[in-house]
């Protein structure tokens, strides 16, 4: 492809497939208008970052050479396949016959482009998509919407055809077992005084079809919370806060520096949230196993949630999740040294129980919103310590607490990421004469939990000499890469770092985003859900944490 900025999505919509016997290879022809459901119809539209948003196939210009369709039954056997050249797509309608009966079938679509020589390149598809869990039955019409994704790694994120229904920041995005992404909570609006209330709103991103659907609200509004997928397809929501004050309120907490962002009123319910099933393509055809949207608050008596507290949920087995609560404000509104742990247990029947809360060893100093990680049986809490602290982090267990790092590594409002036994923190406010530093704090730190050490990389983050606060992070385990997305003073940052060498990818896929995002949310969808590569889905955010900021609706995707 001559211009990488032309990388696009192809949305195959109103794609009707019918099982009616006959030739397995099917046929392609003009729309016959057959009313009894014996034919299939396809219409195609293209979506890219700018300009082309209509239904015209001309949006693809000469990039598209052909599209292939393959249907596999539940045993993985190919029961239908057909290729259609671009010249046959001019009518924007396709019809197919001869699809065998099948349950739990998968439709795989591949689109081929034109090579540098101007001839069709039919060896390697440039776009791909799939829909699974389909049923084909003689005499019945099956309607499928497919969103095709570019296969090549991108130097620029690409827009989903639809946006979030509710713009939000400080929310969670959780990959469900069927490949959809559940978007929940967050702050949706800020007043002129900079006060931002949290929301109960939930919606789901269907990656197969590209459709966005709003679901039932959570039982309690929450933002900056923790979400983790459960075995039965539901999601557990833990902790969070009800409000954020972004108006640079200089609130003092004991010996801490004056805090620029203030969280208050913790969310106290633990919720088990069951998203509506089935997926869009299944629902559109009246099959699957519909389940109502249910938000079930679990018993949470005596769990000491608080504002400025960090929450980490770590799956330790197929049926057990350990939840850690670290720091925050105590019952008197003072910074706390305490850390807690409780276990969430799942059963084969889908029930969930919350175990007794146990108190871990106290850290040597209180902490406000530290970055957390769990590795090798140890919990590490980094940053958010008093202004005069000699250390930057604590390694905490039931038996004791050990300080690590120096005062120069103490950071505030940083984002953490755990990968392969190491813990990484990105940006955050540093300290200058006991106050939060305003600039030149753009470090990324790698914390060795077992070795009780920290490696700091100066100026690794490309933040134009400014600090970065509230970035989003993601981990690409397939390629061993760390992602840093947006954040204050670098809201259009999309930076990729090599995990092994601890060095920056100075070229692609590092790039400048088209949207500014602070407190966005990113989810990595594993390879095989859509195509051969994992995808990173970036949603929401706010353009700036002041009165001029606006919340973001767009959903962007990078092929990893």
How far apart CA 332 and CA 254 sit, in angstroms, is 12
pLDDT attached to residue 277: 78
Location of each CATH 2.120.10.80 domain in the chain:
158-559
Is pTM beyond 0.85? Reply is: yes
How confident is the model over 136-160, as pLDDT tens digits?
887 777 888 888 788 775 667 788 8
Out of 143-157, 208-222, 232-246, 296-310, pick the least confident. 143-157
In sequence order, the β-bridge partners of residue 229 are 235
What's the mean pLDDT in 407-433?
87
Domain covering 4-150, topology: Immunoglobulin-like (2.60.40)
How far apart CA 375 and CA 481 sit, in angstroms, is 19
Location of each CATH 2.60.40 domain in the chain:
4-150
How far apart CA 232 and CA 238 sit, in angstroms, is 17
Domain covering 158-559, topology: Neuraminidase (2.120.10)
Say whether pLDDT at 59 is over 70: no
pLDDT-above-70 percentage for the chain: 82
Q: Which residue has the tokens 């299939």?
A: 40
How confident is the model over 156-199, as pLDDT tens digits?
778 888 899 999 999 999 999 999 999 999 999 888 888 899 99
How far apart CA 177 and CA 229 sit, in angstroms, is 8
- Characterize the bridge pairing of strands 102-113 and 64-72: antiparallel
Burial 491-522 (b: 16+ CB within 10 A, else e): bebbbbbebeeeebeeeebbbebebbbbbbbb
């Amino acid at each position: 492809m001559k211009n990488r900025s032309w990388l696009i999505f192809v949305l195959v919509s109103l794609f009707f497939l019918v099982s009616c016997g006959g030739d397995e290879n099917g046929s392609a022809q003009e729309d016959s208008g057959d009313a009894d459901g014996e034919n299939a119809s396809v219409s195609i539209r293209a979506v890219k970052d700018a300009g082309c948003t209509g239904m015209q196939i001309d949006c693809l210009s000469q990039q598209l050479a052909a599209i292939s369709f393959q249907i596999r039954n539940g045993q993985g056997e190919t029961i239908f396949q057909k290729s259609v050249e671009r010249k046959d797509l001019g009518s924007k309608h396709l019809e197919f016959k001869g699809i065998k009966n099948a349950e739990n079938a998968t439709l795989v679509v591949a689109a081929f482009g034109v090579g540098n020589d101007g001839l069709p390149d039919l060896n390697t598809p440039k776009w791909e998509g799939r829909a699974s869990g389909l049923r084909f039955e003689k005499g019945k019409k099956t309607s499928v919407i497919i969103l095709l994704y570019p296969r090549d790694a991108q130097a620029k994120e690409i827009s989903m055809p639809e946006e979030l229904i509710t713009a939000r920041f400080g929310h969670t995005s959780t990959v469900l077992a069927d490949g959809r992404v559940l978007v929940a909570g967050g702050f949706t609006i800020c007043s002129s005084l900079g006060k931002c209330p949290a929301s109960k709103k939930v919606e789901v991103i269907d990656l197969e079809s590209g459709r966005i659907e709003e679901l039932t609200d959570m039982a309690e509004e929450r933002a900056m919370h923790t979400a983790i997928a459960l075995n039965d397809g539901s999601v557990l929501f833990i902790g969070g806060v009800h409000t954020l004050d972004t108006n640079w309120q200089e609130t003092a907490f004991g010996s801490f520096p004056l805090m620029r962002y203030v969280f208050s009123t913790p969310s106290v319910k633990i919720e088990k949230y069951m998203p509506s099933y089935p997926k869009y393509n299944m629902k559109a055809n009246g099959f699957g196993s519909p389940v109502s949207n249910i938000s079930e608050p679990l018993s949470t008596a005596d769990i000491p949630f608080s504002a400025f507290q960090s929450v980490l949920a770590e799956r330790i087995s197929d049926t057990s999740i350990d939840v850690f609560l670290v720091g925050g404000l105590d019952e008197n509104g003072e910074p706390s040294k305490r850390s807690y742990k409780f276990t969430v247990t799942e059963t084969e029947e889908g029930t969930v129980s919350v175990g007794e809360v146990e108190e871990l060893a106290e850290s040597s100093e209180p902490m406000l919103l530290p970055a957390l990680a769990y590795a090798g049986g140890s919990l590490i809490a980094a940053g958010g310590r008093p202004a005069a602290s000699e250390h930057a982090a604590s390694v905490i267990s039931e038996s004791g607490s050990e300080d690590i790092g120096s005062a120069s590594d103490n950071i505030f409002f940083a984002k953490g990421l755990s990968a392969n036994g190491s813990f990484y923190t990105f940006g955050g406010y540093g300290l200058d004469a006991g106050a939060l530093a305003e600039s030149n704090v753009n470090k990324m730190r790698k914390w060795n939990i077992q070795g009780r050490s920290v490696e700091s990389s100066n100026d690794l983050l490309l933040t134009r000499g400014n600090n970065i606060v509230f970035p989003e992070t993601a981990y690409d385990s397939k390629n061993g890469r760390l992602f840093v997305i947006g954040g204050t003073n670098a809201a259009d940052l999309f930076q990729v770092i090599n995990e092994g060498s601890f060095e920056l990818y100075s070229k692609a896929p590092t790039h400048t985003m088209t949207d500014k995002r602070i407190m966005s949310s990113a989810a990595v969808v594993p390879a095989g859900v859509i195509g051969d590569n994992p995808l990173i889905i970036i949603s929401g955010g706010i353009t700036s944490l002041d009165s001029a900021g606006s919340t973001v609706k767009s959903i962007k995707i990078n092929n990893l």
